[in-house]
Amino acid sequence: KKDIYILGLETSCDETAAAIIKNGRDIIANVVSSQIESHKRFGGVVPEIASRHHVEQITLVLEETLHQADMTFSDLDAIAVTKGPGLVGSLLVGVNAAKALAFAHQLPLIGVHHIAGHIYANRLMKEFAFPLLSLVVSGGHTELVLMEEHGSFQVIGETRDDAAGEAYDKVARTLNLPYPGGPHIDRLAAQGQPVIDLPRAWLEEGSYDFSFSGLKSAVINTLHNAEQRKQAIKAEDVAASFQQSVIDVLTAKTVKAAKEYRVKQVLLAGGVAANKGLRAALEEQFAELADIELIIPPLSLCTDNAAMIAAAGTVLYEQGKFEDLAMNGYPGLDI
């Protein structure tokens, strides 16, 4: 059987990324250009700045990827690109680059859902065994996704308000930590104790949905009250207490769903998958469940990248699911 080489492009938010993946599993080249420094002083991603950076970076990132792989377009089988969800101006840069390259080099065009990409980052570590459950935790999403086979995604629970990463970033901002706040809270949490009593949103019995806005408000109120009463409160303890509350709910619901759906594997996906506390808590829980395999990608594959997009795109290639040049960027795409 002939090897399949797919070029992936990802520009949905604030990373300009390209990668080449062999047979959906092996990384041949993987390049990410982050814009975080440009957005930091605004405390979040500014859409107009993001799209302008993508336009400036995409050709350079692409050239670097081909150079790393020591390949030309004639070595490729298809071009896969994130078609949504994300910031529309950012998505359009990748989508238009992919369309132009597919047309110019007469290669098939593949449109990938960003979250499918985050899930498939795990296949760069280990072959999938179905059914499997993915805990997807990023800046825009918090979802439990069940997969019975390649390319089939059933959302069994999702956040009703803030995404986990969004809660991290908002709490970080109230603690005057730089954007993106997730890694800073994670670092502080390791130095503090979870001594502050904060809520855990379990929701109705049996629900796999999440809610983080009440927790975020509770943290803000706690800081406000302490300030009013001139009580000293350690940022490390606030971070540890907040993180413990997030982790308790995420791990408990993931374990319950993994058992209920009798899955063979549990995957962790999305930017918040880089969280040290969450990784440790899941590893501890699943160490006791011998018949369920836990897969956690390395940090570089947790945050946005194009290797995951090419990996997910390979499955669509094998299923013959191609796009034509009418493909657009879709900011609010369902998985």
Choose the contact partner of 192 out of Zn ion, ligand KG4, none; CB within 5 to 8 A by kind: none
Of the pair 137, 201, the CB lying nearest Zn ion is at: 137
Amino acid sitting at position 109: L
Residue with smaller CB distance to Zn ion, 85 or 194: 85
Pair 145, 155: CB distance under 8 Å:
yes
Distance of CA 195 to the CA centre of its chain: 30
Q: Which residues contact 88 (CB under 8 A, 6 or more apart)?
A: 47, 329, 331
- For the chain, the C-alpha Rg in angstroms (whole number) is 20
Q: Give me the least distance between CB of 225 and ligand KG4, in Å please.
A: 25
User: Least separation, in Å, of the C-beta of 272 and Zn ion?
Assistant: 10
* Span near ligand KG4 by CB under 6 A; candidates 37-45, 150-158, 175-183, 230-238: 175-183
Verify binding: residue 183, ligand KG4, rule CB under 6 A. yes
> Between the CA of residue 208 and those of 39, 250, 299, what are the distances in Å?
34, 10, 26
Phi-psi label, residue 196: left if phi above 0, alpha if psi -120 to 50, beta otherwise: beta
Residue from 143, 166, 209, 304 binding Zn ion (CB under 5 A): 304
Stretch near ligand KG4 under the rule CB under 6 A, chosen from 35-43, 149-157, 161-169, 192-200: 161-169
- Tell the residue number behind the tokens 């390395």, with chain if given: 298
Q: Which is nearer to Zn ion, 35 or 138 (CB)?
A: 138
**Longest CA–CA separation in the chain, Å:** 71
Among 8, 140, 157, 313, binds ligand KG4 (CB under 6 A): 140
**One of 24, 182, 192, 329 touching ligand KG4 (CB under 6 A):** 182
Cis peptide before 199 (omega within 30 of 0): no
Asked if 138 interacts with ligand KG4 (CB under 6 A), we say yes
Instruction: For ligand KG4, give the closer residue by CB, 94 or 181.
Output: 181
Question: What is the spatial distance between Cα 248 and Cα 244, in angstroms, rounded to a whole number?
Answer: 6
Residue closer to Zn ion, measured from CB, 237 or 304: 304
Query: Both tokens of residue 64?
Result: 């670097």
| Given 128, 168, 286, 317, the residue binding ligand KG4 (CB under 6 A) | 168
Q: From residue 96 to residue 135, what is the string marking binding to Zn ion with x (rule CB under 5 A)?
A: ----------------------------------------
Residue in 119, 272, 310, 312 binding ligand KG4, rule: CB under 6 A: 272
The site that binds Zn ion (CB under 5 A) totals a number of residues, namely: 2
Q: Measuring CA to CA, how many Å separate 113 from each of 33, 66, 143, 233, 322?
A: 20, 23, 14, 42, 13
Cβ neighbors of 225 (< 8 A, separation 6 or more) are 231
CB atoms within 10 A of CB 89: 18
Binding site for substrate, by residue number, is 136-140, 169, 182, 186, 275
Binding site for Fe cation, by residue number, is 114, 118, 304
- Residues lying near Zn ion in the complex (CB under 5 A) are found at 138, 304
